[in-house]
Amino acid sequence: MKRSYFFASGICLLIVLGGAWFVRASIRDLVYQTSQPVLPPPIAYQATSTDAFMRVPTSTGRGEPMRSPSDRGQAIKPGQTHGSAPTTTKKFPSQVNLAIPFLLQAPTHKWIQPYEDACEEASAIMVDAYYRGRTEKYGEQEGDKVILDLIAYENGLFGKYESTSATETARLIENYFPNRRVTVHAPTSTQEIKQLVAQNIPVIVPLYGKALNNPYFRNGGPIYHMLVVKGYLPDGRFITNDPGIGRGADYIYAADVLWEAMHDWNEGDVLNGKPMILIVRPK
């Protein structure tokens, strides 16, 4: 009798705990959905003339950093051209949203290898698709194929696919997507990212994933992560395609959160890695 009682009590407890978890997840999703701003209309890629808001860093052709600031607060010196933003009389749009198709790094939602380390590959594929004029998100089967194809190529190029640095990722992009050129750039603020996106140039950002404080990450987030910045809002927040979560399409991050999380791989010492961005453009 007692055994039956304890068994029934255990079942009830499991049901209650499961229900609480479901309600918690539902509340989290409801809060997320109701807190989302109205996004600007997505802008599909169109080849433009060389006239731009400002000068942007030029690629070395090898994905090498143009400069390496000693810390995040280093000021841009007057007249500096390696990644600096010259003064311009043109004004940026108050908001931008590039039409970049979303690709989950685990397209079939199987969070195992190689997908757990496929954020770099997913980010590269999304940016290339944008420049090809694609706006439709990737389905499970197609997404799985394009990621595995890129990983296979990457294994041949580097002998690995996991946790590639900004420079390695730039080299991968330029080799796998011959119509793309990449600059690895050390920004001094998120304003530089905004200026690039305002010119319809998406930006790939390496990050210490746990500093993003994303409630949808598993286990608090990855040590090392990459995503695509595709827009910004009038209040300064960034619109991203974050391949690490199912809700990653048009995911919003505060500018200060993104900035503090920006760290390159740095041979695994991510927290001491410098802030770097990958600027991908057509050749």
Cα–Cα distance between 125 and 128 in angstroms, integer?
Answer: 5
Q: Give average pLDDT by consecutive 10-residue segment, the chain, 283 residues.
A: 54 56 52 76 83 52 40 36 42 96 98 98 99 98 99 98 98 98 98 98 99 95 98 98 98 98 98 98 96
Note the pLDDT of residue 17.
54
Note the pLDDT of residue 47.
84
Answer for the pair 227, 248: CB distance below 8 angstroms, yes or no.
yes
pTM given for the model: 0.80
Beta bridge pairs of residue 184: 65, 278
The SS3 call for residue 227 is: strand
Note the pLDDT of residue 132.
98
Cα–Cα distance between 92 and 184 in angstroms, integer?
Answer: 23
Cα–Cα distance between 283 and 273 in angstroms, integer?
Answer: 29
Domains along the chain?
Answer: 36-282 (3.90.70.10)
Tell me the angle at which helices 140-158 and 166-176 cross, rounded to the nearest 10 degrees: 110
